[in-house]
Amino acid sequence: MSNLPHYQQQQQTVTFAYSQGALQLTVLTPTIIRVFSNRGESGHSYAITGNKQQSTPFTLTTKDNHYELRTSALTVSLDADRHIDVYDAQGAPLVTDYRGERHLLDKGVDKVHQKLVEAEGHSATTQSAHDADYFQVVKDLASDEQLYGLGDKTGYLNKRGFEYDNWNIDYPDPQLEILPNIYKSIPVMLGLKNGHPYGLFFDNPYKSHLDLGKEDPHYYVYSAVAGNLDYYILGGHTLKDIVTAYTYLTGRTPLPQKWTLGYQKSRWGYSASQTEVQAIADNLKKYDLPCDAIHFDVDYMDGYRVFTWDHTKYADPQKFIARLKARGIKVVPIIDPGVKQDPDYPVYTTGVAQNYFVKTPTGEVYINKVWPGDSAFPDFGRPAVRQWWANNTKFLTDLGVAGIWNDMNEPASFDGEIPENTVFYDQDQPATHRKMHNVYGHNMAQATYEGLKQHQGKRPFVITRAAYAGTQKYATVWTGDNRSMWPHLQMMIPQLCNLGLSGFSFVGTDIGGFASDTSPELLTRWIEAAIFSPLLRNHAAMGTRRQEPWAFGEPTLSIYRKYLKLRYRFIPYLYDLFAQESHTGLPIMRPLVLNYPTDHQTQNLDDEFMVGDQILVAPIVQKSKRQRLVYLPAGEWVDFWTHQTYAGQQDIVVQAPLDKLPLFIKRQTLLPWGPAVDHIAETPDSSMTFQLFGDQGTYDHYQDNGSNFDYQTGQYNCYHLSVDPHQVSVTLTHHGFSAAYQTIHLALSDRVVTFTYDAQTTSYRQI
Ligand code: GLC
């Protein structure tokens, strides 16, 4: 006991004076405890904004050989050797320090052979040398412990047994399960240890590495090249509680504009010609394909200069954008960070004059190559630079664009990597690329979000490729340059589900595959599998086979159309999920394990997902497959197409011809069924239908203007619908948005019940 360090308590922070360096525990809430040890790094968190500490009762007691800090949800024990062990309220271990030695992987190669193996381009390294800034955290791994999250990684749902890096990269080759990192660094991990849920968030932007039981099945390792030891332990009763706690800490995806849930059409190359964009819009109409947006890739700009529009290709972009908008199609242009080095280009000259670009250690503007050739890189870590960038977005909002797509913001560079010692600012303090790399895209997305908010007054629609923990507050994300190959369709499910567990609810992949040539069957299965993906965008690379649904004729076109139309029917449900998500952080697209964490069958399920709590989707993700096993968890499940009911907790064989997406609705569910439209209208719907699956159910439905921030001052409606064997009822539980539905239909199994609105009593009457 005498070996225990002294401590000092200041409100909810306790500092333990270990000889190896002080260690601080801060109680933020009953379910969030921060572990911090200052290793000399200054600066603040980019993931967490505002003060998240709530007044929380806790106790600190001295036991025989350790201290014990206890909230209602978590108990942290600290011993004389600086070991930290965390338990849940029942005393079950969640996160405990590993006391043994590490056993580095023996890759069976000596120095001589290592060179030989590497000569053919293979990697044979065991462990690289570390400098003094390096540190590691090693925690026990139980035999029954599953690990999820980590943001945007390749591979499978359960991350156990793999290793990953957090360092944002632009990786154009096929992204397979062996790849440790791609475009985003989101160092949050969710665990289920012997069925007990927890989360760990390492808030450190420096390059970090996670070995999740690959090196040794008895422990997992977090290590970083530098930074403070700064992590958060998250607790709760369920995995959902962990996601809610994590998104309380790092922020939630705000309610999006409703049209952003519509179909979006893209291809690198469309925007090189106004005629081509017009032809795409015409074909969407001609082939009766609903759509809400066309994305403009880099070709619309004047020589890839950001915040310019090529007038030789577009006589009057503003008019053209307005014409598309009148037909229900919005324009979302790309903006990359690289600013062309050109003395006659005001964005460049202003950036130089104001010192807004990152610099070499000797003080010159740092130049590397991206699409425009030699380019300078805005120093987005600085508030002034973010404001400048936000101001620049006015060029685009004045032309009438509806959102902005941020790309290449890892940042990517064609002429070798940006040296680590390049000077990037951390707010107003000089720092390095090494420190600011992983938050570059995050800060760019924030600047873009602020710009759109200032200039449009609507909920900003920003899409970003690079991200850090917390970027979900500013942007939707897509998973970058996938390929038209079946493994990438398979990967979409765990990739988007893990992003959802990591706070990113508004996510999507390039449907059909970005690089390489798609095939009619792959495109068909991809649109089926992605139809509930929050961001629904078909995007392809220049130089690949055409990927518009009409490019393949029948039956591709009809099947594609059938699913797009189905998507629009479900948009009110997706929008309801977003309204809930903005309060809970729970994602739209969910792995089954989030809804059924104690069911072992769900813990490694890579080819099914749920949409909210009610819909189960089991797409075909293998070539030539026409049937598959579907695991149904507890409850009863109704086949969406046949209305046949199945008992849960069993695998069933489902036939899935090319035009069928296996889809199940939890029995006793009431779901909204939006109108058949070819785009999301700006005028409010006057009527809504709800469909019952089973013979009773209740549902809470949200409605607002789908566009701006009026809902934040109460201008929204909430409806409670209920069907039981004796009664069908509709209640307007919150009435703040004037355009309440005039009629509401409830489609029961044997009849449709209709209600009409009585403005006088603000209530619904059955007719
Ligand atoms: C990057 C993006 C891709 C885009 C291309 C051209 O590869 O990931 O989506 O089409 O750049 O701008």
pLDDT tens sequence across 58-79: 999 999 999 999 999 999 999 9
pTM of the model: 0.97
122 pLDDT band (50/70/90 cuts)? confident
> 214: number of CA atoms within 13 Å, CB side?
17
Distance CA 267, CA 537 (A): 10
Q: What is the pLDDT of residue 112?
A: 79
Q: What is the pLDDT of residue 114?
A: 78
The pLDDT > 70 percentage for the chain reads 99
Checking if the pLDDT of 762 tops 60, the result is yes
Ligand 1 atom with least separation from CA of 336: 12
Ligand 1 pocket test, pick from 297, 413, 537 with the greatest ligand atom count within 8 Å of Cβ, gives: 297
Query: For the chain, how long is the longest CA-to-CA vector?
Result: 87
Residues 6+ apart with CB under 8 A from 120: none
Amino acid at 49: T
Q: Which residues line ligand 1 (CB under 6 A)?
A: 268, 297-298, 334, 407, 465, 480-481, 514, 539
Q: Is 376:411 a contact under the CB 8 Å cutoff?
A: no
Q: What mean pLDDT value characterizes the chain?
A: 97
- Tell me the torsion sign for CA atoms 206, 212, 213, 219: positive
| Distance from residue 80's CA to the centre of ligand 1 (Å) | 52
Residue with tokens 């189905």: 566
User: Which residue's CA lies nearest to atom 10 of ligand 1?
Assistant: 268
- Of 473, 436, 410, whose CA–CA distance to 43 is shortest? 436
111 pLDDT band (50/70/90 cuts)? confident
- Of 614, 594, 711, 733, whose CA–CA distance to 146 is shortest? 594
Checking if the pLDDT of 739 tops 60, the result is yes
Give 309-327 pLDDT, tens digit per residue.
999 999 999 999 999 999 9
Residues 6+ apart with CB under 8 A from 128: none
Rounded mean pLDDT of 407-418? 98
Q: What are 433's two structure tokens? A: 């690329």
Calculate the alpha carbon distances from 373 to 304, 309, 340, 415 in Å.
Answer: 9, 17, 7, 10
User: Which residue's CA lies nearest to atom 4 of ligand 1?
Assistant: 268
Ligand 1 atom with least separation from CA of 298: 12
Q: What are 401's two structure tokens? A: 């664009």
Q: What is the pLDDT of residue 127?
A: 57
Checking if the pLDDT of 692 tops 70, the result is yes
| Distance from residue 481's CA to the centre of ligand 1 (Å) | 7
| Distance from residue 120's CA to the centre of ligand 1 (Å) | 30
Find the distance separating the first CA and the last CA of the chain, reported in whole Å: 76
Checking if the pLDDT of 1 tops 60, the result is no
The pLDDT > 90 percentage for the chain reads 95
| Distance from residue 530's CA to the centre of ligand 1 (Å) | 20
- Tell me the torsion sign for CA atoms 523, 526, 532, 535: negative
Rounded mean pLDDT of 38-65? 96
Residues 6+ apart with CB under 8 A from 379: 356, 357, 358, 385, 424, 425
Q: In the chain, helix, strand, coil percent, each to 5?
A: 25, 30, 45
Checking if the pLDDT of 126 tops 70, the result is no
Ligand 1 atom with least separation from CA of 542: 10
| Distance from residue 169's CA to the centre of ligand 1 (Å) | 13
725 pLDDT band (50/70/90 cuts)? confident
Cβ neighbour number for residue 73 with a 10 Å cutoff: 19
Pairing verdict, β 32-37 and 229-234: antiparallel
Q: Is 332:402 a contact under the CB 8 Å cutoff?
A: yes
| Distance from residue 330's CA to the centre of ligand 1 (Å) | 20
Distance CA 734, CA 703 (A): 10
DSSP output for 122-137 = ----S-----TT-EEE
735 pLDDT band (50/70/90 cuts)? very high
Checking if the pLDDT of 32 tops 60, the result is yes
| Distance from residue 268's CA to the centre of ligand 1 (Å) | 7
Checking if the pLDDT of 593 tops 70, the result is yes
Checking if the pLDDT of 128 tops 70, the result is no
Residues 6+ apart with CB under 8 A from 129: none
Q: Is 704:726 a contact under the CB 8 Å cutoff?
A: no
**Angle (nearest 5°) at CA 389 between 246 and 259:** 60
Q: Is 333:396 a contact under the CB 8 Å cutoff?
A: yes
Rounded mean pLDDT of 180-192? 98
Q: Is 536:529 a contact under the CB 8 Å cutoff?
A: no
Checking if the pLDDT of 118 tops 90, the result is no
Cβ neighbour number for residue 299 with a 10 Å cutoff: 18
Distance CA 287, CA 564 (A): 12
Q: Is 684:581 a contact under the CB 8 Å cutoff?
A: no
Q: What is the pLDDT of residue 110?
A: 79
Calculate the alpha carbon distances from 458 to 256, 319, 451, 670 in Å.
Answer: 9, 21, 11, 31
Checking if the pLDDT of 2 tops 60, the result is no
Q: What is the pLDDT of residue 306?
A: 98
- Residues forming the active site: 407, 410, 481
Ligand 1 atom with least separation from CA of 510: 9
Q: What are 364's two structure tokens? A: 């010159």
29 pLDDT band (50/70/90 cuts)? very high
Ligand 1 atom with least separation from CA of 481: 8
Checking if the pLDDT of 733 tops 60, the result is yes
Alpha helices for 510-606 (secondary structure H): 520-530, 556-584, 592-595
Checking if the pLDDT of 125 tops 70, the result is no
Checking if the pLDDT of 352 tops 60, the result is yes
Per DSSP, 324 falls in state H
Distance CA 254, CA 504 (A): 11
